[in-house]
Structure 1
Amino acid sequence: MDYIGEHLLPGQLGHFFITLSLVASIVASFAYFKATRHVDTVAGDYYWKKLARIAFLIEVVSVFSIFIILFYIIYNHLFEYKYAWQHSSRSLEFKYLLSCFWEGQEGSTLLWSIWHCVLGLVLIKTGKTWEAPVMSVVSFVQFCLATMLTGLYIFEWKMGSNPFTLLRDSGVLDNAVGMHMNADITQPLRPDYLNFIKDGNDLNPLLQNYWMVIHPPVLFLGFASTLIPFAFAIAALWTRRYTDWIKQVLPWSLFSLAVLGVGIMMGAAWAYESLTFGGYWAWDPVENASLVPWLILVAGVHTLLIYKHSGHSLKSTFLFMILTFVFILYSTFLTKSGVLGESSVHAFTDSGMNVQLVSFLAIFFIPSIILLINRSKEIPAIRKEEATSSREFWMFIGSLVFFLTAIVISAKTSLPVFNKIFGTKIAAPEDEEFAYNQIQIHVAIIIGILTAIVQYLRYKSTTGTAFWKKIWIPTIISILAATAILYFGDINYQTHGAGYLGAIWLAIIAAVYAIIANAAYIWVGVNGKLKLSGGSISHLGFGLVLLGILLSSSKKEILSRNSSGIAIDFGKESKEKAGENLTLVKGFPMKMGKFDVTYEKDSAHPKKQQWYYFIHFKSRTDKEEFTLKPNAFVNYKGNEGLMANPDSRHYLDHDVFTYISALPNPEKNKDTATFKPNPVRTGDSIFYSKGYLIVEKVATRDSLPFDGFRPGDKATVATIGVHSLTRGNYTAEALLIDQGGKQFAVPDTIMPESLILQLNSVTGDSLNIGVKESNTILEYVTLKAYKFPYINVLWIGIIITAIGILMSMVRRIQLNRQLKKA
Structure 2
Amino acid sequence: MHYNGEHLLPGQIGHFFSILSLVASLLATIAYFKAARMNDLLPDRKGWIKLARTAFFVETISVLGVFFSLYYIIYNHYFEYFYAWNHSSRSLQFKYILSCFWEGSEGSFLLWSFWHCVLGWILIKTSKTWEAGVMTVISFAQFCLASMLIGIYFFGYKVGSNPFILWRQQMPDIPIFSDPNYLQLPRIAEGNDLNTLLQNYWMVIHPPVLFLGFASTIVPFAYAIAGLFKKDHTWIKTSIPWAAFSGAILGTGIMMGAAWAYESLSFGGYWAWDPVENASLVPWIVMIAGLHTNLIYKSTGYSLRTTYLFYILSFVLVLYSTFLTRSGILGDTSVHAFTDLGMNVQLLLFVLVFFIPAILLFIWRYKNIPALHKEENTNSREFWMFIGSLVLFLSAIIIAAKTSVPVYNKMFGTNIAPPEDPEFSFNQVQIFILIIIGILTAVTQYFKYKSSPQGYFSKNIVWPTVASLIVGSAICIWGNIHYNKQGIGFLVAIYVGVYAAIYAIIANAAYIWLVLKGKLKVAGASVAHVGFGMILLGVLISSSKKEVLSWNTTGIAVFKKDKKEDPAENITLFKGVATDMGKYMVTYVKDTFNTVDRKRYYEIDFKAKNGNEHFKVYPDIIKNNKGMEGFSPNPDSKHYWNRDIFVYISSFQQNDQPDTATFRNIGIKPGDTTFYSNGILILNKVQVNPEAQKDKFKNGETALFLDMTAITKDGRRYPLTPGIVLNNNELTNYPDTVKAQSLIVKFNKVSNPQDGKLEIGVKESGAITDLVTLKVYEFPMINILWLGVVVMVIGFFMSIYQRIAPQIFSKE
1:402 matches 2:388: no
2:743 corresponds in structure 1 to 755
> Alpha-carbon deviations, 1:371-402, whole Å to 9, x = none?
01111111111121211111101100000000
- CA drift of 1:722 comes to 4.8
Given residue 26 of structure 1, which amino acid in structure 2 is its aligned partner? Answer: L
Range 322-331 or range 194-203, more displaced: 194-203
1:482 matches 2:472: yes
Q: Give me the whole-angstrom Cα distance separating, in 1, the residues matched to 2:731 and 2:147.
A: 73
**Contact 1:247–1:816 (8 Å) recurs in 2:** no
1:725 matches 2:711: yes
Given residue 431 of structure 1, which amino acid in structure 2 is its aligned partner? Answer: D
**Contact 2:655–2:766 (8 Å) recurs in 1:** no
1:265 corresponds in structure 2 to 255
Range 40-49 or range 379-388, more displaced: 40-49
- CA drift of 1:54 comes to 1.2
1:170 matches 2:158: no
2:567 corresponds in structure 1 to 578
Within 5 A, what are the aligned runs for 1:465-480?
A: 465-480=455-470
1:297 corresponds in structure 2 to 287
Range 506-515 or range 718-727, more displaced: 718-727
1:797 corresponds in structure 2 to 788
- Change in CA separation of 1:101 and 1:488 when aligned onto 2, cut-off 3 Å: same
1:712 corresponds in structure 2 to none
- CA drift of 1:611 comes to 2.5
Range 357-366 or range 246-255, more displaced: 246-255
Given residue 570 of structure 2, which amino acid in structure 1 is its aligned partner? Answer: N
- Change in CA separation of 1:737 and 1:624 when aligned onto 2, cut-off 3 Å: farther
Q: Give me the whole-angstrom Cα distance separating, in 2, the residues matched to 1:170 and 1:670.
A: 43
| Sequence identity percentage | 56
Local SS of the residue matching 1:464 = coil
Q: Give me the whole-angstrom Cα distance separating, in 2, the residues matched to 1:266 and 1:547.
A: 18
Local SS of the residue matching 1:772 = strand
- Change in CA separation of 1:636 and 1:588 when aligned onto 2, cut-off 3 Å: farther
Q: Give me the whole-angstrom Cα distance separating, in 2, the residues matched to 1:212 and 1:582.
A: 30
**Contact 1:2–1:191 (8 Å) recurs in 2:** no
1:785 to 768, 776, 798: 776
2:418 corresponds in structure 1 to 428
2:542 corresponds in structure 1 to 552
1:210 matches 2:201: yes
2:647 corresponds in structure 1 to 658
- CA drift of 1:744 comes to 11
Q: Give me the whole-angstrom Cα distance separating, in 1, the residues matched to 2:668 and 2:189.
A: 54
- CA drift of 1:464 comes to 3.5
1:90 corresponds in structure 2 to 90
- CA drift of 1:199 comes to 1.2
Q: Give me the whole-angstrom Cα distance separating, in 2, the residues matched to 1:591 and 1:685.
A: 28
1:648 to 605, 621, 637: 637
TM-score of the pair, normalised by structure 2:
0.92
Q: Give me the whole-angstrom Cα distance separating, in 1, the residues matched to 2:340 and 2:761.
A: 57
- Change in CA separation of 1:235 and 1:736 when aligned onto 2, cut-off 3 Å: farther
Range 440-449 or range 484-493, more displaced: 484-493
1:538 to 518, 522, 528: 528
Q: Give me the whole-angstrom Cα distance separating, in 2, the residues matched to 1:641 and 1:77.
A: 26
Given residue 99 of structure 1, which amino acid in structure 2 is its aligned partner? Answer: S
- Change in CA separation of 1:300 and 1:432 when aligned onto 2, cut-off 3 Å: same
2:611 to 622, 626, 630: 622
> Alpha-carbon deviations, 1:240-298, whole Å to 9, x = none?
212x1012111111100000001001111111111111111111111111000000001
- How many pairs were matched up? 797
> Alpha-carbon deviations, 1:118-140, whole Å to 9, x = none?
11111111121111111111011
5+ unaligned residues in a row in structure 2: which ranges? Answer: none
1:392 corresponds in structure 2 to 382
> Alpha-carbon deviations, 1:442-493, whole Å to 9, x = none?
1011111110111110111113311111111111111111111111112222
Q: Give me the whole-angstrom Cα distance separating, in 2, the residues matched to 1:267 and 1:354.
A: 25
2:157 corresponds in structure 1 to 157
- Change in CA separation of 1:450 and 1:666 when aligned onto 2, cut-off 3 Å: same
**Contact 1:736–1:759 (8 Å) recurs in 2:** no
TM-score of the pair, normalised by structure 1:
0.91
1:64 corresponds in structure 2 to 64
1:461 corresponds in structure 2 to 451
2:10 corresponds in structure 1 to 10
Local SS of the residue matching 1:10 = helix
- Change in CA separation of 1:257 and 1:589 when aligned onto 2, cut-off 3 Å: same
- Change in CA separation of 1:385 and 1:678 when aligned onto 2, cut-off 3 Å: same
Q: Give me the whole-angstrom Cα distance separating, in 2, the residues matched to 1:743 and 1:98.
A: 63
Within 5 A, what are the aligned runs for 1:438-449?
A: 438-449=428-439
**Contact 2:2–2:180 (8 Å) recurs in 1:** no
1:139 matches 2:139: yes
**Contact 1:642–1:661 (8 Å) recurs in 2:** no
CA RMSD of aligned residues (A): 3.2
Q: Give me the whole-angstrom Cα distance separating, in 2, the residues matched to 1:44 and 1:168.
A: 50
> Alpha-carbon deviations, 1:643-683, whole Å to 9, x = none?
2111111111111111111223669x775423446799999
Q: Give me the whole-angstrom Cα distance separating, in 1, the residues matched to 2:732 and 2:460.
A: 88
Local SS of the residue matching 2:272 = coil
Q: Give me the whole-angstrom Cα distance separating, in 2, the residues matched to 1:538 and 1:770.
A: 71
Given residue 227 of structure 1, which amino acid in structure 2 is its aligned partner? Answer: I
Local SS of the residue matching 1:231 = helix
Q: Give me the whole-angstrom Cα distance separating, in 1, the residues matched to 2:122 and 2:181.
A: 49
- Change in CA separation of 1:437 and 1:192 when aligned onto 2, cut-off 3 Å: closer
Given residue 561 of structure 1, which amino acid in structure 2 is its aligned partner? Answer: W
**Contact 1:326–1:364 (8 Å) recurs in 2:** yes
Given residue 230 of structure 2, which amino acid in structure 1 is its aligned partner? Answer: T
Q: Give me the whole-angstrom Cα distance separating, in 1, the residues matched to 2:730 and 2:148.
A: 70
Q: Give me the whole-angstrom Cα distance separating, in 1, the residues matched to 2:109 and 2:721.
A: 61
Q: Give me the whole-angstrom Cα distance separating, in 2, the residues matched to 1:742 and 1:137.
A: 92
1:369 corresponds in structure 2 to 359
2:309 corresponds in structure 1 to 319
Q: Give me the whole-angstrom Cα distance separating, in 2, the residues matched to 1:2 and 1:762.
A: 78
Local SS of the residue matching 1:663 = strand
- CA drift of 1:815 comes to 3.3
Q: Give me the whole-angstrom Cα distance separating, in 2, the residues matched to 1:23 and 1:734.
A: 84
> Alpha-carbon deviations, 1:298-340, whole Å to 9, x = none?
1100011000000000011111000000000000000000111
Local SS of the residue matching 1:661 = strand
1:638 corresponds in structure 2 to 627
1:234 to 225, 228, 242: 225
Q: Give me the whole-angstrom Cα distance separating, in 1, the residues matched to 2:141 and 2:723.
A: 74
> Alpha-carbon deviations, 1:614-643, whole Å to 9, x = none?
111011211111111111246544324552
- CA drift of 1:768 comes to 9.0
- Change in CA separation of 1:25 and 1:666 when aligned onto 2, cut-off 3 Å: farther
Local SS of the residue matching 1:446 = helix
1:587 matches 2:576: yes
Q: Give me the whole-angstrom Cα distance separating, in 2, the residues matched to 1:66 and 1:742.
A: 76
Given residue 250 of structure 1, which amino acid in structure 2 is its aligned partner? Answer: I
1:253 corresponds in structure 2 to 243
- CA drift of 1:775 comes to 3.0
- CA drift of 1:40 comes to 3.8
> Alpha-carbon deviations, 1:225-245, whole Å to 9, x = none?
001111111111112212x10
Local SS of the residue matching 2:367 = helix
1:286 matches 2:269: no
5+ unaligned residues in a row in structure 1: which ranges? Answer: 175-182, 707-714
> Alpha-carbon deviations, 1:586-633, whole Å to 9, x = none?
111112232111111112243887422111101121111111111124
2:798 to 778, 799, 807: 807
- CA drift of 1:79 comes to 1.5
